[in-house]
Amino acid sequence: MQTPEELNELTAISPLDGRYRNRVSDLAPYTSEMGLIKTRVEVEARYLVALSEVGLVRSLSDQERDVLAGLGSSLTFPQAQRVKEIETETRHDVKAMERAFREFVSGTSLEDATEMIHFALTSEDVNNLSYRLMLRRATSQICIPAMDNVVDVLAERAGQYKGVPMLARTHGQSAVPTTFGKELANVAVRLNNQVRKLENVKLTGKLNGAVGDYNAHVLSAPEVDWIAFSKKFVSELGLDFNLFTTQINPYEDVMEMLQAHQRVNGVILDLDQDMWRYVSDNWLVQEVVKDEVGSSTMPQKVNPIDFENSEGNVQMANSLWEGMVRKLAVSRLQRDLSDSTTVRNIGSGLAYGLLAYRNTLAGLGRVNPDEELMKSELNDNWVILTEGVQTVLRREGVEDPYSLVAGLARGRKIGRGNWQTWVNSLPVNDTAKSNLLILSPGTYLGYAEKLTEIALEEIAASRVK
């Protein structure tokens, strides 16, 4: 029989706690089991203070308030282990935390208040608040800064390459010219818009007992306005108060945040695949890192592994989010426990997304456009200018210019010389011909540079607090 090994990179079941642990470990204080325990203790401690404020617990000294205020954040590893030890007996994680909490204040001046710990609460009163605090804090403190790093690099590169012409492709085929910077700006705006929406998602909280009716509260302490009490308590946690619940706080707010994460991830996925294609076409040159191996058999390879890794991880994240959104919409009658094991995976979804953002950032950091190759391919076929030609012919009053131009150009390849001969044969005046003759793929760019500048201004303005 194999001897159990200590959990480490080699023994972890999940790559998040194994191979990738060092890339996502900053999420652990928020979404790990210990992070959950600390947040639960924080909620319970603040609840005890709130009970004191309405006279159900004796008046607390400033020192006692300070102790309770810091009890969650200062929870030690041995204390968290003690919670898990108790849980082996209770098989109930919140009850284990409650009993450990009593032990933590035993022998202190707060010992006389121990029976009021978890007063009239159901475990879901603590859990719904704790999970939402964890999700909001991890999102705002870890994930959004990582997303914004991608936005910032895209914006910086967009400004740098706003005047670098490149051939745009629609349906995979040659379309009309754009600039590399403008294409990066498009993604930067999309991503920034979704990050800002994610940033503004409001999460809710409830504190109303076993089935949401304050039964035990009203029976034991009818003198307290429990609706006002719970609204104040939830609001002070920075959550929107939800009065109408069963035992659980319905998850539509959490689903909205997870779907906001999904939309961010969709933009990242689109970016990863486009960058991969540009690398494949040699339009982007990858930095060669000494001693890095691209292939175990082909020494010449420099693979776009960062974009590929990001693509895989962002799809893992969205798979989890999609599954959670489907599950969390439904809870049998007033409560079933299937949501409990589901929401424990929120940290995994965030971590897969975080891996993706950081890999995309790494990929962006080691690619640069091959401007000469882009220019060469852009100038390889001047037929891409025929969009402009048929539009000018419309302005000049030529009948059915689209069909005229299509008949002359569709399926043909035109170089500069052929272009000039073809333009001279068009049924337009000399002024119109002169304007078309000085046109080239590298100058047929419309407002590409201007639009890039506007995009960067909008992104900067959205980030001003």
Catalytic (active-site) positions: 171, 295
Task: Specify burial of residue 290 (Cβ count, 10 A radius: 0-12, 13-18, 19+).
Answer: exposed
Alpha-carbon gap, residue 155 to 459, rounded angstroms: 8
Alpha-carbon gap, residue 158 to 180, rounded angstroms: 7
Instruction: Tokens for 331, please give them.
Output: 């809870």
Alpha-carbon gap, residue 79 to 358, rounded angstroms: 33
Alpha-carbon gap, residue 150 to 156, rounded angstroms: 10
* Amino acid in the structure at residue 356: A
> Smallest Cα–Cα separation from 343: which of 134, 146, 192, 77?
134
DSSP class of residue 122 equals -
Alpha-carbon gap, residue 357 to 264, rounded angstroms: 10
Helices 416-424, 430-437: crossing angle, 10 deg rounding: 170
Match 């486009």 to its residue by tokens: 274
Contact status, residue 217 vs residue 51, Cβ threshold 8 Å = no
Alpha-carbon gap, residue 44 to 67, rounded angstroms: 13
Instruction: Tokens for 51, please give them.
Output: 């009970």
Hey, CA dihedral for 149, 151, 157, 159, is it positive or negative? negative
Helices 386-395, 430-437: crossing angle, 10 deg rounding: 160
For residues 421-455, b (16+ Cβ closer than 10 Å) or e, as one string? Answer: ebbeebebeeebbeebeebebbebbeebbebbbeb
> Smallest Cα–Cα separation from 326: which of 422, 384, 371, 262?
262
DSSP class of residue 414 equals -
Alpha-carbon gap, residue 370 to 375, rounded angstroms: 9
